[in-house]
Amino acid sequence: MRISHKYKFIWISKPKTGSVSYRKLLDPHSDIISADHKPFRHHATLQEMQETFQQHGWDFSTYFKVCAVRNPWDLLLSVYAYSKTDINGNQFWAKGKRHDPSRLMPFDQWISLEKHRQWFKNRHTLKAYTQGHNGEVLADLVFATDRDNKVFFTAMARRCNLVLDVSELGWMNSTPKSKVLLAEAGRCFSSQPVKSMMHELFCEEIEAFSYRNPYSQLSG
């Protein structure tokens, strides 16, 4: 999350969408840089920011509010690879729990756990980051980092009078995926229960950007 009072923008960092790269790009132009704690935590939602702005007496409506998305099939596979969830369900960042990196939970089990589906819903869907208390969309711009990001740079120049250098944007914090994992993901994503889950949870971004499962050819 990044906020600029000078340029009047709020950048919402939806996890595993290239948010680290964009945060670094916006750092020199931001008055508020996110941290690991509230209210300005790294992955704060627009609803949370709306409440925080009200508490500070800032006019939320005058800020240009931006959120990025990514193909949800790629996103969940990236979440799995990054989290390194062990067989006991502990992610590598779990506090007070012993994480065992030598015994990771298989992808098919990981994606099927109900607690993980709630995690996806609450922390990884577009709706969770852009929807207000009454279901209204709070974002002024939602763009796809895995498509043409020129819309972001153009909008920042037009709406915020901020010209950013696209050449300074790198892709950081990515996690490599093995061929074995890609094949396993192909099989899981092709199952009807997972298909239904994906379209239920990520219907907004799938519809907005016509996303499709890119791993279907690996299911055999």
pLDDT at 134: 94
Which residue numbers in the chain have pLDDT < 70? Answer: 170-174, 218-220
In the chain, domain spans: 2-218
Q: C-alpha distances in angstroms, 55 versus 41, 50, 71, 215? A: 16, 9, 34, 45
User: For the chain, how many residues are written?
Assistant: 220
pLDDT at 63: 98
Pairing verdict, β 141-144 and 9-12: unpaired
Longest dimension (CA), the chain: 56
First-last CA distance in the chain? 40
pLDDT at 172: 57
- Output the DSSP codes for 14-43: -TTSSHHHHHHHHGGG-SEE-BSSSSSBTT
pLDDT at 125: 98
List, for residues 41-72, the tens digit of each pLDDT value. Answer: 999 999 999 999 999 999 999 999 999 999 99
Nearest-angstrom CA–CA distance, 5 and 63 = 8
pTM: 0.92
